[in-house]
Amino acid sequence: MDGGIVNSRVLKSAIDSGACGYLTVDLAALSRNYDKLSAIVAPTKTAAVVKADSYGLGADQVSKVLYGRGCRHFFVAHFIEALRLRPQLPGDATIFVLNGLLSGNEATCADGGIVPVINSLDQLQQWSQTARSLQRRLPAVLQFDTGMSRLGIPPEDRSAVATHLQASDDIDILFIMSHLASADEASSGQNADQLAEMRRVATEFPQYDVSFANSGGIFLGGDFHGVLARPGIALYGGAPTGGVANPMEAVVRLDVAVVQTRTVPEGARVGYAGVHVTKGRTRLATIAAGYADGLPRSLSDRGAVYYNGVRLPIVGRVSMDSTTIDISALPEGALSFGSMVEVLGDHQTVDDLARDAGLISYEILTSLGHRFHRQYR
């Protein structure tokens, strides 16, 4: 992503739209990330996880771009997301619902050509009943719990699922899958445990292909790939593996406007509850974004923004709509009303900001608000 401060034309566009900042989603970087992940897992196919509005970046725009790169498999979490996305993609794109269906959504799902991920015997039975009522076979994916204890058919129900499938031919199982719980920790023993359990499942259901790797799983090696990899955070520039250099390109840049600057004396209290007290004469700026815009309150007195590569610490508590920063490290007059500071960009990645907030990159991306002017390029 291009460096530097947002130019005057871009700033005017943001101001004219009434926005408090400028959020750039680099679709070219997104495409290159998809290509890179696809190359790593080839000949395994690569899907795209676009749940939570593509991690907050816009599922319509992201999905169309990835479709153009050859992606034909898209995963959302909830059925409502699939209904919204379906009209945006050509008919040969398959949309999968990771959480499966709540009772009552089956007929609408079948009519929309959407594929549920079956996580329980109950969901399987309801989907079979829908197929029988429509007098046609319906596609589905079976998800098995291999050690995360979240979603997926538990070990004790595998025999009943196999019996159901043998007794009925109304469901077309496209593949079976599971989700890795610790793939971002390459050295975690849980990865090997889950791989061993997935292999046991595959032995019990030998007629079906396997999908296993998420973003981190792609980097664990070919044993984890299966026939379809399902990257999420890595597509959007987040680090797929902790403790090593991030191989993905940044996709998001965020610049926020300064709405006020001032100089305060030693002993001045800053922000709610006066938790920050200046230790000397201090120059401050207030920027037009707070926790309602995706700057977590946990950044209070610990996070920072940047201007021309200079780190500007957040002082006091992050408010709902504004955040105060210490600009004493800049020359007098460098920042003024209307200047833009970098929250995410060349000097601070989404993982950096998440670390300072005590969160993960997923939380930062999915929290970015809609009061920013958004540009897709």
pLDDT in tens, 238-297: 999 999 999 999 999 999 999 999 999 999 999 999 999 999 999 999 999 999 999 999
Among the listed residues 51, 208, 306, 307, the single catalytic one is: 51
What is the rounded CA–CA span in Å between residue 2 and residue 376?
14
Residue with tokens 């090593």: 244
Decide if domain 8-22+250-376 falls under CATH 2.40.70.10: no
Show the beta-strand stretches assigned E in 78-221: 94-97, 115-118, 138-143, 171-177, 210-211
Pick the CATH number of 27-236 from 3.20.20.10, 3.40.50.2300, 3.50.30.20, 3.30.590.10: 3.20.20.10
**Which is more confidently placed, 7 or 213?**
213
Partner residues linked to 226 by β-bridges: 211
**Residue 12 appears among annotated catalytic residues:** no
Confidence at 14, pLDDT banded by 50, 70, 90: low
What is the rounded CA–CA span in Å between residue 5 and residue 56?
23
Give the pLDDT mean for 163-183: 97
pLDDT at residue 162, as a whole number: 97
**In the chain, where the domains are located:** 8-22+250-376, 27-236
Check whether 1 has a pLDDT greater than 50.
no
Give the pLDDT mean for 369-373: 94
What is the rounded CA–CA span in Å between residue 313 and residue 311?
6
pLDDT at residue 17, as a whole number: 72
Among the listed residues 67, 272, 362, 376, the single catalytic one is: 272
What is the rounded CA–CA span in Å between residue 240 and residue 184?
6
**Residue 51 appears among annotated catalytic residues:** yes
Question: Would you say 197 and 146 are in contact if contact means Cβ atoms under 8 Å apart?
Answer: yes
pLDDT at residue 172, as a whole number: 98
What is the rounded CA–CA span in Å between residue 9 and residue 344?
20
pLDDT at residue 12, as a whole number: 55
